[in-house]
Amino acid sequence: MSLRTIESLGTLAGTRVVVRCDLNVPLQDGVITDDGRVRASLPTLKALANAGARVLVISHLGRPDGAPDDRYSLTPVAQRLSELLGSAVPFASDTVGPDAQKVAAAVQDGQIAVLENLRFNPGETSKDEAERTAFAEKLAAFGDAFVSDGFGVVHRKQASVYELPKLLPSAAGLLITTELEVLDKLTESPERPYTVVLGGSKVSDKLGVIGHLLPRVDTLLIGGGMLFTFLAAQGHKVGSSLLEEDQIETVKGYLAEAEKLGVDIVLPTDVVVAASFSADADHVVQAADAIEDTAFGASGLGLDIGPETSARFADVIRSSKTVFWNGPMGVFELAPFAAGTKAIAQALTDVDGLSVVGGGDSAAAVRALGFDDDQFGHISTGGGASLEFLEGKRLPGLEILGWEQ
């Protein structure tokens, strides 16, 4: 059985369609700092509205722990959605309560409305299937059909992701189908040379991806905090840099396997070493195999890849036909340690082929550093779901829609 798409739902004019989006955007003092996920939801929402459906959007935001919390309200998201659509978007102040019932009943053909944060109800993330089902049944009462379009949550067994599509005619939205097409190319049919760039803080977060992709890639570039565990696995001292000592033996195994497979794992030759974790800390560029040989000694910590490494990584990326990047190269939020991440992002915009930014911190980084989404082949909204897909794991929110991996 293949993934069910919107076309399988038939004529939608006058039909009430509940759409599970992933509108989990970053907020600062109630203001959205990156609206990428809101914009990514627009193609599906517009397609449904243009077909005459009565669209009811549901999503989570943050981790409010099963109770209403103003810090995690979807109010700013509904406002931003209204701005992007150029029309008013009614908003319900609860999930399945009186206001949600009122808003759901009032939605007109071709109109889009939003319910409050799903995670304000404990049934959404309950470990108890009966509790999740009970909540899903209340959500299902608002619709005649269900469209799943939040790729960032398809790896979760949650009420709106797994139980709800069992209760209504259900299908995947355009965002999910696009994500799957791209991820399928990365795992099954990549054009070569194929390079994967991995960064971020912890190597333990990426072990499954490394293991699953090693036999499939030509080159693996390692940056971010995880690079220090790789350096330690080669016998180098890393000062006070982020280090997962319990993963050193695992990393040694991957280095040996890569050599056996003929895969080139490229590690930094220079890093930016700082006296402390601060934007105004003293810092120097130092050889990666001599991190402790600075004035900071063993207390120095690496916070970015160096310029030599940035240039080398960029050359590899530009000469590739397929590139997947997940995880910043350094602490890009602090200006002195953003150059490595910016160099990688710039190189990806020059790829003559498929360039994929793997969601989460990487997506936030490229936007924060001034790049536009359309400069890349694809910016994933998936985060953890994308990584689990690339690890070869089963994703319940896709399987319930007919997907077979």
Q: Are 191 and 321 in contact (CB under 8 A)?
A: yes
Q: Is 54 annotated as a binding residue?
A: no
Catalytic pick among 360, 377, 382, 383: 360
Is residue 185 annotated as a catalytic residue, yes or no?
A: no
Catalytic pick among 37, 132, 185, 312: 37
Q: Is 42 annotated as a binding residue?
A: no
Q: Is 206 annotated as a binding residue?
A: yes
Identify the sign of the CA torsion 67, 70, 72, 77.
positive
Nearest to 5 by CA among 172, 154, 151, 168: 172
Q: Is 361 annotated as a binding residue?
A: yes
Q: Whose structure tokens read 């890569």?
A: 258
Q: Residue 388 belongs to what H/E stretch?
A: helix 384-390
Q: Which residues pair with 287 in a beta bridge?
A: 270
Report the interhelical angle of 360-368 vs 339-349 (nearest 10°).
90
Identify residue 117 by its one-letter amino acid code: N
CB atoms within 10 A of CB 371: 18
User: How far is Cα 384 from Cα 272, in angstroms, rounded to an integer?
Assistant: 28
Q: Is 216 annotated as a binding residue?
A: no
Q: Is 22 annotated as a binding residue?
A: yes
Which residues, other chains included, contact 130 with Cβ-Cβ below 8 Å and sequence gap of 6+? none
Is residue 157 annotated as a catalytic residue, yes or no?
A: no
Can you give the three-state secondary structure of 9-73, one letter per residue?
HCCCCCCEEEEECCCCCCEECCEECCCHHHHHHHHHHHHHHHCCCEEEEECCCCCCCCCCCHHHC
Tokens of 288: 């990666």
Q: Are 185 and 355 in contact (CB under 8 A)?
A: no
Q: Is 318 annotated as a binding residue?
A: no
Catalytic pick among 39, 202, 216, 321: 202
Dmax of the chain from CA atoms? 70
Q: Is 201 annotated as a binding residue?
A: no
Catalytic pick among 52, 66, 97, 384: 384
Q: Is 270 annotated as a binding residue?
A: no
User: How far is Cα 375 from Cα 32, in angstroms, rounded to an integer?
Assistant: 22
Q: Is 333 annotated as a binding residue?
A: yes
Is residue 202 annotated as a catalytic residue, yes or no?
A: yes
User: How far is Cα 81 from Cα 38, in angstroms, rounded to an integer?
Assistant: 7
Q: Is 23 annotated as a binding residue?
A: yes
Q: Is 362 annotated as a binding residue?
A: yes
Is residue 37 annotated as a catalytic residue, yes or no?
A: yes
Q: Is 60 annotated as a binding residue?
A: yes
Q: Is 359 annotated as a binding residue?
A: yes
Q: Is 63 annotated as a binding residue?
A: yes
User: Which residue positions form the known binding site for substrate?
Assistant: 22-24, 37, 60-63, 119, 156
User: Which residue positions form the known binding site?
Assistant: 22-24, 37, 60-63, 119, 156, 206, 302, 333, 359-362
User: Which residue positions form the known binding site for (2R)-3-phosphoglycerate?
Assistant: 37, 119, 156
Active site residues: 37, 202, 360, 384
